[in-house]
Amino acid sequence: MLTQVASFLSRERLLAMSYTVTNVHAHEIIDSRAKPTVEVAVEMEGVRAVAGVPSGASTGAREAVELRDGDMNRFGGAGVLTAVSNVNGELRDLVLSRSWESLAEIDRAMIELDGTENKGRLGANAILGVSMAFARAASQYDRTALWKWLPGIEGQPPRLPVPCFNVLNGGAHAPNPLDFQEFMISPLGAPNFAEAMRAGAEVYAKLKSLLAAGGHSTGLGDEGGFAPDLESPEEVCALLVEAITSAGYSAGRDGVMIALDPASSEFYDGGTYTVSGEKLSSSDMVSRYEKMIVDYPIWSIEDGVAENDDEGWKALTDAIGDRVQLVGDDNFCTNPAIIKRAIENGVANASLIKVNQIGTLTETIEAMTMCHEAGYGQMVSHRSGETPDSFIADLVVATGCGQIKTGAPARGERIAKYNRLLEIADAHPELSYGLR
């Protein structure tokens, strides 16, 4: 307790009372899918920090608005010059107009300036870029690691997360016939973060050779996982178990387990789910998962049913919510107001956390705090369209939620996050590893 108070005081002393931004500038860059996105630089006295904004493909309907130009002569309408000019105009004017005592203060001022419910006027991509670049610049100004500088969550101290490696891609992230979007492996039993990375990389390599031996393609999907011509989710799970065990790990809590993100809103239409050509009702889906979690070492399922299938969500939670983690992504959109209602209605038991779904770091941490207080898990996540920015690695450590998904242990924009976590783990052996 004494040490805690002492380190709290010394940390307080380290941080500036206020931050004066001397310049803000955005420009258009290209993300990992060849689509434009926003990069923002924030300058403070002697410091310049840059942040890149991520972008999803299987987006929830209630996500904050990602402003795209719609000019069909540039990038098929996907340009972000409007968002860029909103940063270089109105947002810059705001940020330079005064000094800021905290991240929350600047985030709230940007939300107010935007004036809409969903950041549709200035764009969540514009606002988030400033929020992230401001936090990074302020941490550098204070000569403090970003994860130590970011606001944390009371009762959930900093921690190194279980990495959930998306090793096999389907759905909106790959051109194969697989309807389920993400098949992840999570080294829950690893003794530390570095060993978890090793397990992920070894299983990934083993999976590659098993696919090649079976005559399958080893080409990659958007998040760096393999994208073979497989159709059945059960067949993929069996293959993952084979890869895990032949890499020398146990396929269980003491070793490596499977996490799924079917992203089922993408194959749900008119009340029916279509999985490998088969038409399934909501309750058929629930029964399918009930069987899958018995047959395979699955510990977490995200978006098992569609974002607007409220009854399906309730039924799924009632059926297996006491045995596996059920993560809301498309239905929750990292939105504190939506998550609050879901908690009251007993829907899911965890939330995916994507900074660009809500558009400021402050609201992201608010959503996580709400989950923590209700006993809901939080899985920090990248987007399928990424930049080499490693911000979410610091965010997941700062908030101590204990889990992150940021793609396969391959492709630069994915390993940037994992390698930043390795750097933090190496420098801070005192940090615990693992799920909460």
Using CB under 6 A as the criterion, which residues of the chain lie in contact with ligand PGA when the complex forms? 56-59, 261, 263, 329, 352, 381, 383-384
Token digits of residue 162: 């279980």
Indicate the residue among 202 and 303 with the shorter CB distance to ligand PGA.
303
Token digits of residue 275: 């999985």
Rounded-to-integer distance, Cα 282 and Cα 284, Å: 5
Residue 202 site contact among ligand PGA, Zn ion, none (CB < 5 to 8 Å, cut-off depends on kind)? none
Rounded-to-integer distance, Cα 110 and Cα 213, Å: 54
Nearest approach, Cβ of residue 268 and ligand PGA (Å):
14
Indicate the residue among 137 and 416 with the shorter CB distance to ligand PGA.
416
Indicate the residue among 66 and 303 with the shorter CB distance to Zn ion.
303
Nearest approach, Cβ of residue 261 and ligand PGA (Å):
5
Active site residue 386: no
Rounded-to-integer distance, Cα 278 and Cα 412, Å: 36
Q: According to the binding rule CB under 5 A, does residue 223 interact with Zn ion?
A: no
Residue 56 near residue 354, CB atoms below 8 Å: yes
Q: Is the dihedral of CA 239, 244, 250, 251 positive or negative?
A: negative
Nearest approach, Cβ of residue 405 and ligand PGA (Å):
7
Of 282, 171, 167, whose CA–CA distance to 226 is shortest?
A: 167
Q: According to the binding rule CB under 5 A, does residue 329 interact with Zn ion?
A: yes
From 39, 223, 266, 307, the catalytic residue: 223
Rounded-to-integer distance, Cα 250 and Cα 201, Å: 15
Nearest approach, Cβ of residue 307 and ligand PGA (Å):
11
Residue 59 site contact among ligand PGA, Zn ion, none (CB < 5 to 8 Å, cut-off depends on kind)? ligand PGA
**DSSP secondary structure string, 88-133?**
IIIIHHHHHTS-BS-HHHHHHHHHHHH-SSSSTTT-HHHHHHHHHH
Residue 384 site contact among Zn ion, ligand PGA, none (CB < 5 to 8 Å, cut-off depends on kind)? ligand PGA
Which three-class secondary structure string do you get for 101-112? CCHHHHHHHHHH
Beta-carbon contacts of residue 56 (< 8 Å; ≥ 6 apart) = 63, 354, 356, 357, 383, 384, 385
Rounded-to-integer distance, Cα 161 and Cα 196, Å: 10
Residue 303 near residue 265, CB atoms below 8 Å: yes
Residue 331 site contact among Zn ion, ligand PGA, none (CB < 5 to 8 Å, cut-off depends on kind)? none
Residue from the set 261, 307, 309, 389 that interacts with Zn ion by CB under 5 A: 261
Nearest approach, Cβ of residue 387 and ligand PGA (Å):
13
Nearest approach, Cβ of residue 92 and ligand PGA (Å):
28
From 148, 206, 354, 405, the catalytic residue: 354
Indicate the residue among 24 and 263 with the shorter CB distance to ligand PGA.
263
Active site residue 12: no
Torsion of CA 19, 21, 24, 29, to 10 degrees: -40
Interface residues for Zn ion in 285-314 (CB under 5 A)?
302-303
Listed ranges 12-20, 199-207, 323-331, 398-406: which one lies at the site for Zn ion (CB under 5 A): 323-331
- Select the residue whose beta carbon is closest to ligand PGA and give its number: 56
Q: Which residues are catalytic?
A: 223, 354
- The binding site for Zn ion (CB under 5 A) comprises 261, 263, 302-303, 329
